[in-house]
Structure 1
Amino acid sequence: VLCDIKMNKMDGIEVLTEGLALKPDVPFIMISGHGTVETAVEASRKGAYDFISKPPDLNRLLITVRNALERGNLVTETKVLKRKVSKTREILGESVAIGKIKETIERVAPTEARVLITGANGSGKELVARWLHEKSGRANAPLIEVNCAAIPSELIESELFGHEKGSFTSAMKQRIGKFEQADKGTLFLDEIGDMSLSAQSKVLRALQENKITRVGGEREIEVDVRVIAATNKDLLKEIEAGTFRMDLYHRLSVILIHVPSLTERTDDIPIIAQSFCEEICNEYSMTVKKITVEAVAALRALPWTGNIRELRNMVERLIILSDKVITDNDVRIFANPSGPESVNHNVSAQPNYEQFANFQEYKDYAEKEYIKHKLEKNGWNVSKTADDIDIQRSHLYSKIEKYSLKRTEH
């Protein structure tokens, strides 16, 4: 919107204020023939994108309008992307246990109650925390996540509360901690059972007083943060062992949510596996593969010590290594990343599995061998091969280039 400052019926600043109240994402460019620094500052403070004096330079005006439109588009695109991301974060399953978790989230999320989420690794504790945030009144503020198990004990306090410059040897500049970053939002303390007792006492104080002090600092800083914590440990046993504070446990566990392991809710495996299949096939620009009833039964029979995380890896492996339909035989063959002792299923030779540092390396190897096998089978006809494995031809070309695949001369 191009808006003059001096107008008869309504002042331009009033138009700006009321316009942004109705359409906060619309950029306003203010124009005035009596422009002063004070007027420009007031317009900017009220939310104007820019301020231009009369008579406007045409080039500057065009550039400003173009930049304002681009900014508006970016704001819109960001909101759309955020909605898309939030839509993908679903708690999948129709079991009684998952139904109770969803009901609890609906009741608890709008409140300010602290929540302690328990469950095994890979069971979906982080997803529950995200839903608690997204359905709360803090959804438009940040959700800051901290994996307490991944941070060395000597650094956890600096990570949570920040530090002042020079507070320790490597503190070359001031650092804002996670509590301050999460102000007005939610702080998710994952694996809180691994937090040191020293850090626990400071977290307890922050929860009691809603204030923190940076490491090496003296000034108290007020914070407005909702804390959600998660752990794979039995904190009551940790309290008995003297490694976790009872008073902190009671502060955190106003609401307790236990996320069951996948083996406790095998009825949900068909829904979860199908959802992962659609998601992964879309990522790879492939036609969604069908999972047979027998394959689903085979999946349900597996132990799933890695829970949801392991199931997703398994489905991704099946999509890459199986044909158009995923069968129970595929599940038996590829149930283990290292496979059976003898495998001859779209892979040229049995690899030495010790050579792979992680599953990604194995996946790349398997994908390369699979594509190479299909290309050779189709006489290196790229169009036919792309159709055969249900991916776009351009996508296949990029894979050929990625893996440096070349036709073998006979």
Structure 2
Amino acid sequence: MLNAVPSTCTITIFEGPDGAGKSTVAKEYAKRTGALYIHFDALYGVQNIHKYFMEAMAPALLGYQSVVLDRCWHSGPIYDLVFRNLEEYEQRQTQEICTLLDRAASFCRGIYVRCRPDVEVCISNWKSRLGDELVKSEQKMRAIHELYGDNDRNIMLPIVEYDYTEEPTTSAYKDSIEWLGNKIAEERADVYNKRQPRVYVVVSSSMEKTDVDTMLDVPGVRFHPNSNEFKLAQDLGPYSVFDDDPVPEELITYLPVNGNFKHFFKTFGKQAPRQYLVAIGEKANEAVRAFVNSITPEDAAVMPNIDVAYLLDTLADSVMRGKRNMPSMPDMITSKWYDLVKNTSESQNNHDGAPKCKTVVLTEDEVAGLSAEEFVKYVVGKLNG
């Protein structure tokens, strides 16, 4: 297996309707940043299409070279709906798959650049090369343009808007590409900043790899519907809301089960905001417990306070929680915990030479004999306690 590695390599996605100018700007951005430019044509009849996208991101995920994608997985559902007249259940790229691919891109500080100038600009460009276009209907083109403006809730990555017909917002830039590059860099630095509170998830794979998975091991990414990683993607799709906006992957970082957690959290420094570490599954529980038990007073003096939760495999299953009327994982963890650290006074470290990890522990023995109603009350009470 090939393990994704933390690196300075990035993934930048350029998306938008036909005639939006995305290929032109994507090529130039890749040239100026030294990234590998990859363009995706229509992939007719391809099964497990997510493997193509994972392979395209591999240079960045493995730490070799940054990648620029001209189109990505988010265009598939739009064109399937409008161009191929497919219903949602017929589409090859479900919301869960899109979320998992966003999660993989976020490992390399992914940014989604939406190229969407005025619809008449796109239609004019499209008509000028109609002979080479797959979509021949202007009505469908207008529908595609509209859908690109409505799919924010399906994108779990930070979004940068770009319209090539507009001038840079300041005269300090020589051209719009320079302005865009700076905007992408600022968004990337702001969103993926370790100095903000976030939730870190260590999840055990609940099953071995299958033919729907890839050779790349990215924390939190498995494509089999029965895997914990896939089940979590059902939570972090368009129905997960944080402050009335989608919960982006940028607020949740996935860490490998075999990661060096101590070294990772030491890089934050003592005065960093309180952080949240969630272990889901037996192996993840063991790894995080070993980390917590290994923290010395010397370690604690240079680490932020950490709230740790040990959860069962079953708590990754959004379907199970839905049947038991339990809130979604973001509601149980992200939203409630994130609210705590908005208060600066609560974010400061108060290490007295010893580690301070608040833990929430759920064991099989504790919940095995509970009814559905009792189970809900018990779990939610633990998480809110």
User: Quick check: TM above 0.5?
Assistant: no
Q: Larger Rg: 1 or 2?
A: 1
Structure with the largest fraction of helix: 1
Indicate the structure whose relative CO is greater, using CA pairs within 8 Å and at least 6 residues apart.
2
